[in-house]
Structure 1
Amino acid sequence: MKTKIFLLLLFLSIAFGCSSNDTNGDIQQPDESVYFPPINSDTWETKSIDDLSWNQDALVNLLDFLDEKNTKSFIILHDGKIVLEEYMNGHDASKPWYWASAGKTLTTAISGIAQDEGIIDLNAKVSNYLGEGWTSALLEKENLITCKHLLSMNSGLDDSLGDNVSKENLQYKADAGTRWAYHNVYKKMQDVVALASGSNWNTYFTSKLKNKIGMTGNWIQNSDFNVYWSNTRSMARFGLLIYAKGKWNNSQIVPESFLSEATNTSQDINKSYGYLWWLNGKASYHLPATQLEFNGELIPNAPDDTFAALGKNDQKIYVVPSKKLVIIRMGNKANNDALALSSFDNDLWEKINLLIN
């Protein structure tokens, strides 16, 4: 009897121990089936719509819709493999296009890498890196602003003064953490990383992210903005990296725990915003250039677990873990001019659903 009890206890101990290690808390490991295209190669494995038992009849309608809505390129990845890759309206696979604010999430990824390397602390005040007086706010108010506030869009600085991020234009509006406002001041995180690394933003970005996943493209300074331009597959590579929880093959490029934090609600005001990522499936959301709160999901037609990088004129990266999807759209504005979210998001997902369901 004692032997049987001992064996039972041993079995339970092993079973619960394995369960704890496998789940790694709330963080799931990337599916081993995820495909990664090789670095420095145009090779990219594909998967057919028939392989996935999707609705082939819905494809023509989707492509016509994309064409009519000024799309230049569109890619769907399933577990990393290309299911759909289309170019239209004078664009092709080799041509670069701007990411607009969808590129903000590149800054998020680099911030996570820099923190993992120990050169920055996202909970630290920004003035630790940029020095006191980087804003026009009183010092006691400036010192409330942390790096996380920049990534969460709740620095409290006045968003009504335009996109210039010089000291004169960064003026106090509210205490950091008490007001959400879509603001170009996030760009100061690039300065934080550059100064902390003893390098410059482009060099650090290229060595820590771009080259490691085989992206092409360049940062181009345009007025008050530092905008990333690349071909569509490079945007898809980045989306795949995020889908794979920061891994590329067997290398952890962006810390997984940081990405989990970045793609969940980052503050108490805009439930649908993480660290420069937009989040679906929340009860309410805020939009750029307004302090209004809107009830309901960000993109009702999209799966609840969708999170997205959204840029002006409908530049899109959608990541949908439950469907194993990464979806990319580049082009000119589909409907009305929009800084991030637009009516096109929900309309597009209506067409996508007809295809994948």
Structure 2
Amino acid sequence: MPETAPLSDLLWTRGYTDPAWIRRFTSQGRELSPTRRVWRGAAHARPLPRDEADLDALDLVTTDAGPLKLADLFAAARTDAFLVMHRGRIVYERYPQGGDAHTPHFNASAAKSYLGLVAATLAHQGLLDRTAPASAYVPELAGTAFGDARVQDLLHMGTRVSYAGRPFDKAIEAQRYHAVVAPRLRPFGYSGPDTIREHLLTARATGAPGAEFRYENGNVETLAEVLRRVTGLTTSALLSDLVWTGIGAEEDAYYVLDADGVEAACGGFSATARDVARLGEMLRCGGAVGDRQVIPAEVAGTISTGVPDGYPRRVRFPAAPPTSPATLSYHDLWWVLNDPYDSYLASGIHGQRLFVSPGLDLVAVHFGSQVMSPAVPPAPLVQAFVRIGLHLQA
């Protein structure tokens, strides 16, 4: 939070500094908010063969205090679930906080990437025009920052926005968004928007779209509304039809809903670690599950290579300090590592990750309940994923 932020804005951080509250929020969403299921389909779940590997003694990252092992990583990241697949087999699966394999866990902003798959698929099918302004599909957003942006801008976080005339602060605006979809998070005297659509209508542009990268939830909520208008389906039904029923999911997933019954598409999604791993394995295999093409091969194959001209090739990860080099790319709502292994990442607050590395034959899923604070260093999850992949390849 900037030093100039008024003390009243501290109200918007409540709950997120208590790990126990975070864990309840990440694992019991159905008990706290209205939700809509993402149906897994009627088919049998796709089996996940196992080939256990002993990773507990592996040195993951070297720190000032010495080598970091998985137990140390789990403590630092407050890990709820950790699952690794190598060459299509589960080699490691743990639930350190006493969870289980069948209870959906909050995915947070990792869900943005899943929506990116849906949008890219519809564009590939010719049903969505990436160059069209969002207002061409959602006319009531004309004149707003998101309505005047192109679909391609939304997919690459390419808008500059101010809500209700406020100076933009990413962390505070994220908490204000949470208050829109979860009334229990609203501070006393709240008088802001009651629904996602009302929230989007308050957005005004502070710069031309497509000129720079600015990570903001409204891009994804606008894109979700565009996709609903294009298809006539809810976000839950879309993800079910295009992804969830195709990966052989074992459990239904679900989205949190706002007061209008609209899914919180940018981060209100929960699913099990095994099913998210199935999604990652489908992508690692070029969008296919066995002989069935779930996502077009062109969509899956260009996640790590398809940043369009005119958009930044290097962007800064939200949790990274301001002085860190911008080494990642961002394409169709996925984080691209630009490493030798064509790795890419879906990432969410409190430690939610789906890591896909075709070059390492690796898929890793991490769910956590880590406090997000300048006083709490982020756990080196990506470095650990790569180290595990290199170890398994040896």
Structure 1 residues 235 and 135, CA gap change in structure 2 (3 angstroms): farther
Identify unmatched segments of 5+ residues in structure 1.
1-37, 273-284
- Indicate the residue corresponding to 1:271 in structure 2: 313
Aligned mates of 2:91, 2:308 — CA distance in 1: 33
Larger RCO, structure (CA 8 Å, separation 6 or more): 2
Larger deviation, residues 341-350 vs 78-87: 341-350
Deviation at 1:252, TM superposition (A): 1.8
Task: Choose from 77, 81, 91 the match for 1:83.
Answer: 91
Aligned residue in 1 for 2:125: 117
What SS is found at the alignment partner of 1:110? Answer: helix
Residues 278-293 of structure 1: matches in 2 within 5 Å?
285-288=315-318
Report how far residue 174 of structure 1 moved: 0.9
Is the CA contact 2:118–2:239 (under 8 Å) kept in the aligned structure 1? yes
Change (3 A) 1:292 1:87: closer
CA offsets, 1:149-168, max 9 Å, x none? 11100023337262445244
SS in 2 for 1:158: strand
Following superposition, the deviation at residue 222 of structure 1 comes to 6.1
Deviations 1:192-248 (A, max 9, x none): 111111222212221221112123311113689341111110110111121112112
Kindly indicate whether the alpha-carbon contact (under 8 Å) linking 1:96 and 1:229 is maintained by their aligned counterparts in 2: yes
1:55/1:355 contact within 8 Å kept: no
Corresponding position of 2:58: 58
CA distance in structure 1 between the partners assigned to 2:381 and 2:311 by the alignment? 22
Identify the residue that residue 102 of structure 1 maps to in structure 2: 110
Aligned counterpart, 1:189: 223
Secondary structure of 2:109's aligned partner: helix
The percentage of counterpart residues that share the same residue type is 20
| Cα distance in 1 for residues equivalent to 2:206 and 2:321 | 13
Residues 112, 254 of structure 1: 8 Å contact kept: no
Corresponding position: 1:206 with 2:240: yes
Residues 135-214 of structure 1 mapped to structure 2, 5 A cutoff: 135-137=143-145, 142-143=147-148, 145-158=149-162, 160=168, 162-163=173-174, 164=177, 166-185=199-218, 186-214=220-248
| 3-state SS of 2:350 partner | coil
Give me the TM-score of the superposition, normalised by structure 2: 0.66
CA drift at 1:250:
1.7
Q: Distance in 1 between matches of 2:316 and 2:341?
A: 17
Q: Shift in Å at residue 190 of structure 1? A: 1.2
Is the 2:84–2:362 Cα contact (8 Å) retained in structure 1?
yes
Instruction: Tell me the amino acid that sits aligned with residue 365 of structure 2.
Output: I
Call closer, same or farther: CA 1:311–1:222 in 2, change over 3 Å: farther
Superposition deviation, residue 63 in structure 1: 3.5
Q: Which runs of 5+ in 2 are unaligned?
A: 1-41, 61-67, 178-195, 329-335
Residue in structure 1 matching 2:49, options 32, 45, 48: 45
> Matches of 1:64 and 1:301 in 2, distance apart?
28
Per-residue Cα deviation, 1:281-325 (whole angstroms, up to 9, x for no partner): xxxx32339996742645999765321111100101111111100
How far apart are the structure 2 equivalents of 1:300 and 1:245?
18
Distance 1:311 1:56 in 2: 25
For residues 196-235 of structure 1, the aligned pairs below 5 Å read: 196-215=230-249, 216-221=252-257, 225-226=264-265, 227-235=268-276
2:32 match: none
After the TM superposition, which residues 331-342 of structure 1 pair with which residues of structure 2 at under 5 Å, given as runs? Answer: 331-333=368-370, 336-337=372-373, 342=378
**Paired residues of 2:57 and 2:70 also in contact (CA < 8 A):** no
- What is the alpha-carbon distance in structure 1 between the residues aligned to residue 46 and residue 292 of structure 2? 20
> Post-superposition shift, 1:353?
6.3
Contact between 1:58 and 1:354, CA under 8 Å: does it hold in 2?
Answer: no
User: How far apart, in 1, do the equivalents of 2:225 and 2:137 lie?
Assistant: 8
- Once residues 342 and 245 of structure 2 are traced to their aligned partners in structure 1, the CA distance between those partners, rounded to angstroms, is 29
Shift of 1:42: 6.8
Return the alpha-carbon distance in structure 1 between the equivalents of residues 235 and 283 of structure 2. 20
Deviation beyond 6 Å, 4+ runs, structure 1:
299-302
Per mean C-alpha deviation after superposition, the further-off stretch among 163-172 and 250-259 is 163-172
Deviation at 1:39? Answer: 5.3
What secondary structure does 1:330 align onto? Answer: strand
Q: SS of the counterpart of 2:364?
A: strand
TM-score, normalised with respect to structure 1: 0.72
